[in-house]
Amino acid sequence: MQTDLSAEFLATPEGERADAILRTCVHCGFCNATCPTYQVLGNELDGPRGRIYLIKDMLETATPNAAATTHLDRCLTCRACETTCPSGVKYGELLEIGREFLEHSRRRSLFARLVRWWLTHIIPNPGTLRRWLRAASPLRRLAPRHLRAMVRPPAAEDTSAGEGEVLLLQGCVQRVMTPEVNVHLKELLAARGVSARLDPNEGCCGGLSLHLGQAEEARAAMRDNLDQMDWSSAERIVSTATGCGVTLKEYDRALATAPDHAAAARGFAAKVCDVSELLHGFEFGKRDDLHRVAWHAPCTLQHGQKITGRVEDLLTGAGYELLPVRDGHLCCGSAGSYALLQPEIAGELKQRKTAALMEHRPDVIATANIGCQMHLGDGSAVPVVHWLQLLQ
Ligand code: SF4
Ligand code: SF4
């Protein structure tokens, strides 16, 4: 793709990177075939190729417009388009640059700014989120339908510290809603001679801000984690929420030009692994009460981290029957804060995903990210669990 970005923007690291990414796109449109929002909305501008054109136009003219805001907001950041693209276009990275440009050059409505403030100031603070949920959960029935998955009493916190060669990051939402997942992982590891520890100074990974175009806030959260956590003594760093994991693995890219943190970010990212990578090679048993599993691979695992097959191998190795799931590459609609900000599209995607997952009558649906688990679990006819909870 030919580009003509302004000399001023091209001189920035973001401009240089955006230009390089844009030039790799050959406008073939193959990516539209696997884009969930294109499938739901049928509009070229709600597919990756259309969004790439919108970003290109915006960066060339240095003029944000309402269309770019609408169609970039509707993107799930699922990165299915990256998996499909034959030219290797780094769409997710380009989208981050486009969204950051929009957030700096266009003022949203007061309501939109308030919602985004809530998302980036309440959710990433487990203590505040816990207090907010305690206050709001008695009113759950009054909450709009799309918010109910989120409004429920928080679980008791895991405050154990301990020693260990594996640093287990708890995540902001997961530690409040399903801390039992990480407790179970620690038990699984301990039974196999591996010790895992938490870090009391863990902060938000930065993923939520990054998705909302607030890249500077995201980078600040990343720098805080690098400065305040004891991560260098850990052999591996792991998160059981793939939404956090994909961001943690990209600290090196996000902080590549940060003078005081680039080297630390490279060292940190090199230690991060998904829990399915950490458990590779170990053997597990299965639960007696569940047999038939429908596996929902989060986009942050299969498209973001490019990991496929590992969880499936561990579950079948443990003795579960893994059922076929139609359109397994498609997003369930959760996508970080997307289900809260775009409830209609998220609801349609959830309906399609639930139908596909339930097609072969599973005993349980397993996934790997707290957002997908809560989104799919709300109103589900069968339990929706983290896949680790199926291992013994
Ligand atoms: S598949 Fe890749 S090269 Fe083709 S239009 Fe989509 S992003 Fe561009
Ligand atoms: S990230 Fe997902 S929703 Fe966004 S353009 Fe790519 S495939 Fe479509």
Q: Is 76 in the pocket of ligand 2 (CB under 6 A)?
A: yes
Report if residue 111 sits inside a domain.
Answer: no
- Looking at residue 353, what is its pLDDT? 98
| Overall number of domains in the chain | 2
Integer Cα distance of 313 and 29 in angstroms? 33
Predicted confidence pLDDT, tens digits, the chain (392 residues): 898 898 888 999 999 999 999 999 999 999 999 999 999 999 999 999 999 999 999 999 988 888 999 999 999 999 999 999 999 999 999 999 999 999 988 889 999 999 899 899 888 888 888 888 888 888 777 777 777 777 777 777 777 766 779 999 999 999 999 999 999 999 999 999 999 999 999 999 999 999 999 999 999 999 999 999 999 999 999 999 999 999 999 999 999 999 999 999 999 999 999 999 999 999 999 999 999 999 999 999 999 999 999 999 999 999 999 999 999 999 999 998 899 899 999 999 999 999 999 999 999 999 999 999 999 999 899 999 999 999 99
H or E segment to which residue 169 belongs: strand 166-169
- Looking at residue 153, what is its pLDDT? 78
Report if residue 301 sits inside a domain.
Answer: yes
Nearest CA residue ID for atom 8, ligand 1? 25
Report if residue 386 sits inside a domain.
Answer: yes
Domain boundary (78, 105, 132) is at 105
Domain boundary (76, 105, 134) is at 105
Strands 196-197 and 236-239, sheet pairing: unpaired
- CATH number for position 54: 1.10.1060.10
Q: How far is the CA of 261 from the centre of ligand 2 (A)?
A: 30
Domain residue limits at 91: 7-105
Nearest CA residue ID for atom 4, ligand 1? 28
Report if residue 313 sits inside a domain.
Answer: yes
Domain boundary (105, 131, 146) is at 105
- CATH number for position 296: 3.40.50.1860
3-state secondary structure of 182: helix
Pocket test for ligand 1, best of 2, 24, 26 (most atoms within 8 A of CB): 26
Q: How far is the CA of 225 from the centre of ligand 1 (A)?
A: 35
Q: Hey, what are 38's tokens?
A: 């294109």
Q: How far is the CA of 306 from the centre of ligand 1 (A)?
A: 18
Angle at 213 between CA 210 and CA 218, to 5 degrees: 35
Query: 157-167: string of b/e by CB count within 10 Å (b at 16+)?
Result: ebeeeeebebb
- Looking at residue 330, what is its pLDDT? 97
Report if residue 101 sits inside a domain.
Answer: yes
* Ramachandran region, residue 338 (left: φ > 0; alpha: ψ -120 to 50; beta: rest): alpha
- The minimum-distance atom of ligand 2 relative to the CA of 74 is 3
Q: How far is the CA of 375 from the centre of ligand 1 (A)?
A: 30
Nearest CA residue ID for atom 2, ligand 1? 85
- Helix, strand, coil percentages (3-state) for the chain, rounded to 5, are 55, 5, 40
- Looking at residue 256, what is its pLDDT? 95
Report if residue 145 sits inside a domain.
Answer: no
Nearest ligand by distance to the CA of 40:
2
Nearest ligand by distance to the CA of 342:
2
- The minimum-distance atom of ligand 1 relative to the CA of 32 is 6
Integer Cα distance of 276 and 238 in angstroms? 10
Nearest ligand by distance to the CA of 43:
2
- The minimum-distance atom of ligand 1 relative to the CA of 84 is 1
Q: By the 8 A CB rule, do 89 and 21 touch?
A: yes
Report if residue 31 sits inside a domain.
Answer: yes
Integer Cα distance of 266 and 270 in angstroms? 6
Report if residue 311 sits inside a domain.
Answer: yes
- Looking at residue 161, what is its pLDDT? 64
